[in-house]
Amino acid sequence: MALYAIGDLHLSFEADKPMDVFGRAWTGYVDKLRTELSHIGPGDTTVLLGDLSWSMDLAHAREDFAFINQIPGRKIILKGNHDYWWTTASKFYKFCAEQGFSDLWILNNNCYESDGVAICGTRGWFYEEERGGAHDEKILNRELIRLESSFKAAGEREKICFLHYPPIYRGYRCQPILELLHRYGVRQCWYGHLHAESHRLAVTGEFEGVEYHMVSADYVNFSPVLVKSFENL
């Protein structure tokens, strides 16, 4: 059994959103994803870190989620800034039941367990007080509530945090999220969102006691990254 992570699949089977504007790395990316995701086992868990489908609603995201449904094992999904299809959990689970999709779960105000490890997270948000307005501040505050709810649900278990937006990159830090990571003893934080030239802004490795990992699909060559293996537990 193993825990994997990858973000930003940007599927568009039913939407005209070509990804080649982000560079040649995206040429044939669906075939790359299909090959690499097939290596995941039926007993594994994969966290998908947002920006999964370009569709504007669930009805038009059916083919995208059919693709995601084919990933072996449990799929845990969090929201990205381009997931306009995102709705309530009850509507999403009803959609999955109607389409025959199984083992897809939403990470939002909750957490999931994988062999004693708590999978926590939320979308996150970019916010700078001198640039952001009241609207951005309101969104950030909601994201902070969701993230803390996720950490509280985990109790005393080891917490691994998954976000769509990076809480830190070169020239920017979202201090309220960083403070939550430290307050709840988080030692690993995984994120996506950054593409193409923005890759150079990514902070990876240990920083102030937290290990950061960037797993946007084009950054990891469309291959899910092993977060933790439980074979020896």
- Provide the percentage of residues in the chain whose pLDDT is more than 90: 82
Distance of CA 91 to the CA centre of its chain: 20
How far apart, in Å, are the Cα atoms of 83 and each of 8, 48, 50, 192? 10, 12, 7, 14
How high does pLDDT run on average in the chain? 93
Q: What is the model's pTM?
A: 0.94
Alpha helices in the chain (DSSP H): 29-37, 62-69, 89-99, 134-154, 175-183
Percentages of the chain per state (helix, strand, coil), in multiples of 5: 30, 25, 45
Choose between 116 and 126: higher pLDDT.
116
Q: Using pLDDT thresholds of 50, 70 and 90, give the confidence band for residue 22.
A: confident
The whole-number pLDDT of residue 172 equals: 87
Residue in 226, 222, 203 with CA at minimum distance from that of residue 10: 222
For residue range 30-75, list pLDDT tens digits in order.
Answer: 999 999 999 999 999 999 999 999 999 999 999 999 999 999 999 9
For residue range 132-189, list pLDDT tens digits in order.
Answer: 567 688 899 999 999 999 999 999 999 999 999 999 998 889 999 999 999 999 999 9
Tell me what the mean pLDDT of segment 109-126 comes to. 94
CATH classification (class only), 2-229: alpha beta
Looking at the predicted structure, is the pLDDT value of residue 131 above 60?
no
Distance in angstroms (rounded) separating the CA atoms of residues 115 and 119: 10
Distance in angstroms (rounded) separating the CA atoms of residues 36 and 201: 25
User: Could you tell me which residues come within 8 angstroms of residue 187 by beta carbon, excluding any fewer than 6 positions away?
Assistant: 158, 209, 210, 211
Distance in angstroms (rounded) separating the CA atoms of residues 221 and 33: 9
